[in-house]
């Protein structure tokens, strides 16, 4: 199927990764970029850049919104009403209305929880034929993939604690200050001790699957990387390590981008750089009755543009891995 796709927010980081990945997608014949300052955006040759306002008048088979949440919500409303298929990379449609207002501080929240949550591995059936997809947050993707197998088996506790470490592209191109090389190099630091919006997302999706309230305390850290993240979750669980490992192997068997590592191997950002792959590892400290669940992904890959394309594939009935089977780094 020859597809025309549109990308809004062309000068941003997630859009840049969409342009890179879409250039090798066999079904995508035309990529249109929309920017509020088209003259200022240097883009690869296969992408034509147009003024942002033209997005609403021009047709496209799929529209990727790579914008801040409030701008994405306003755009999605108009695009969906005029029959377009929209994949929103922002947090604008990931949470139910009241929670969206509380977490993102946006007064306009109508229909916030009405999109399908695009964590592909868990919502394949719901994605087919959808018009509006809420692409998950980068940390939320990693944490939900780690917690949902336990939630689905009735093994999830009421509460878990998680830490994350990510590179600086997670903040977007507009952010400066501590994200500039002079301040970011040789520096590792926590940056939002409580209240990261991705924790709310994970509580919603895991709680819904478990059929009970679930709480996650999450603290992210910044490391001197441009891209990539690791998250590690600790929770009380008394289960044989082999049983826990088998649960994840079985659940993600047939999911081309989720690699459950054998015991003794650890997830690494370097292994997933530039790809749509997530590496997972799980272990149990039986003496203390704790499980440790850990994952690595590329925040611009599986954490944003890669998963958005994976969702487009499923939504349109294409093979899930179409255009996304990129080689990984071995060293
Ligand atoms: N970076 C990540 O790792 C990551 C991962 C998952 C999800 N996300 C989400 O994806 C979205 C894009 O992230 P990003 O990192 O690419 O951000 P970014 O680098 O800041 O890019 C966002 C782009 O949106 C456009 N924009 C900004 N304000 C706008 C407005 N009021 N109206 C219309 N367009 C506006 C700008 O593009 P123009 O100037 O060209 O118009 C801007 O470059 C965000 O919602 C982010 O939370 C990011």
pLDDT in tens, 246-288: 999 999 999 999 999 999 999 999 999 999 999 999 999 999 9
Residue 286 tokens, joined: 């039986």
The string of pLDDT tens digits covering residues 56-87 is 999 899 999 999 999 999 999 999 999 999 99
As a whole number of angstroms, the distance between CA 3 and CA 122 comes to 25
Atom 20, ligand 1: residue with shortest CA distance:
172
Q: What is the per-residue pLDDT for 329?
A: 83
pLDDT(102) > 90: yes
Ligand 1 touching residue 67 (CB < 6 A): yes
Distance (Å) from CA 92 to ligand 1 centroid: 12
Nearest alpha carbon to residue 63 among 136, 133, 11: 133
Residue 182 tokens, joined: 């002079």
Nearest alpha carbon to residue 270 among 186, 331, 196, 204: 331
The conformation of residue 301, written as its DSSP 8-state character, comes to: I
Q: Identify the burial level of 317 via C-beta atoms within 10 angstroms of its C-beta, where 0-12 means exposed, 13-18 middle and 19 or more buried.
A: exposed
In this structure, the dihedral spanned by the alpha carbons of residues 10, 15, 21 and 22, taken in order and rounded to 10 degrees, is -50
Helix, strand, coil % in the chain, rounded to nearest 5? 35, 25, 40
Q: What is the per-residue pLDDT for 331?
A: 80
Distance (Å) from CA 174 to ligand 1 centroid: 8
Q: What is the per-residue pLDDT for 273?
A: 97
Q: Please answer whether residues 48 and 38 qualify as being in contact, where contact means their C-beta atoms are separated by less than 8 angstroms.
A: no
Q: What is the per-residue pLDDT for 304?
A: 98
Average pLDDT of the chain is 96
Ligand 1 touching residue 35 (CB < 6 A): yes
Segment 177-199 shows an average pLDDT of 94
SS3 category, 176: coil
Ligand 1 touching residue 300 (CB < 6 A): yes
Ligand 1 touching residue 90 (CB < 6 A): yes
pLDDT(46) > 90: no
Q: What is the per-residue pLDDT for 324?
A: 98
Q: How far is C-alpha 198 from the geometric centre of its chain's CA atoms? A: 10
Q: Please answer whether residues 137 and 201 qualify as being in contact, where contact means their C-beta atoms are separated by less than 8 angstroms.
A: yes
Atom 47, ligand 1: residue with shortest CA distance:
90
As a whole number of angstroms, the distance between CA 199 and CA 162 comes to 9
State the angle between helix axes of 97-104 and 197-210 in degrees (0 to 180), rounded to the nearest 10.
160
Stated as kind and residue range, the H or E segment containing 316 is helix 306-316
pTM (2 d.p.): 0.97
As a whole number of angstroms, the distance between CA 27 and CA 23 comes to 10
Q: How confident is the model at residue 140 (pLDDT cuts 50, 70, 90)?
A: very high
The conformation of residue 331, written as its DSSP 8-state character, comes to: -
Q: Please answer whether residues 82 and 56 qualify as being in contact, where contact means their C-beta atoms are separated by less than 8 angstroms.
A: yes
Distances (CA, A) of 37 to 11, 40, 42: 8, 6, 11
As a whole number of angstroms, the distance between CA 261 and CA 281 comes to 5
Q: How far is C-alpha 167 from the geometric centre of its chain's CA atoms? A: 14
Ligand 1 touching residue 14 (CB < 6 A): yes
As a whole-number percent, the residues of the chain with pLDDT over 90 amount to 91
Atom 33, ligand 1: residue with shortest CA distance:
71
pLDDT(330) > 80: no
Active site residues: 138
As a whole number of angstroms, the distance between CA 274 and CA 285 comes to 33
């Amino acid at each position: 199927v020859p597809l025309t796709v549109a990308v809004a927010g062309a000068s941003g980081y997630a859009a840049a990764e969409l342009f890179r990945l879409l250039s090798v997608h066999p079904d995508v014949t035309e990529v249109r970029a929309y920017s509020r300052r088209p003259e200022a955006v240097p883009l690869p040759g296969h992408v034509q850049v147009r003024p942002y306002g033209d997005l609403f008048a021009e047709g496209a088979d799929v529209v990727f919104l790579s914008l801040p949440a409030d701008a994405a919500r306003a755009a999605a409303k108009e695009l969906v009403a005029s029959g377009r298929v929209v994949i929103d990379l922002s947090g604008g449609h990931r949470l139910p209305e009241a929670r969206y207002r509380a977490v993102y501080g946006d007064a306009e929240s109508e229909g916030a929880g009405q999109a399908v949550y695009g964590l592909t591995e868990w919502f394949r059936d719901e994605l087919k034929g959808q018009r509006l997809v809420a692409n998950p947050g980068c940390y939320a993707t990693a944490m939900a993939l780690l917690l949902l197998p336990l939630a689905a088996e009735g093994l999830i506790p009421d509460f878990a604690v998680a830490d994350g470490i990510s590179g600086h592209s997670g903040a977007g191109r507009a952010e400066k200050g501590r994200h500039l090389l002079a301040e970011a190099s040789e520096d590792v630091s926590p940056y939002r001790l409580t209240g990261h919006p991705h924790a709310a997302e994970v509580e919603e999706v895991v709680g819904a699957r478990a059929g009970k309230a679930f709480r996650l305390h999450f603290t992210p850290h910044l490391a001197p990387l441009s891209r990539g993240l690791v998250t590690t979750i600790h929770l009380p669980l008394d289960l044989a390590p082999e049983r826990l490992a088998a649960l994840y192997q079985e659940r993600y068997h047939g999911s081309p981008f989720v690699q459950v590592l054998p015991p003794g191997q650890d997830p690494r950002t370097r292994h997933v750089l530039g790809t749509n792959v997530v590496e997972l590892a799980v272990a149990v400290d039986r003496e203390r009755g704790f499980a440790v669940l850990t994952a690595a992904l590329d925040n611009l890959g599986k954490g944003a543009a890669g998963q958005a394309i994976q969702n487009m594939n499923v939504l349109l009935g294409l093979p899930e891995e179409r255009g996304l089977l990129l080689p990984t780094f071995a060293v």
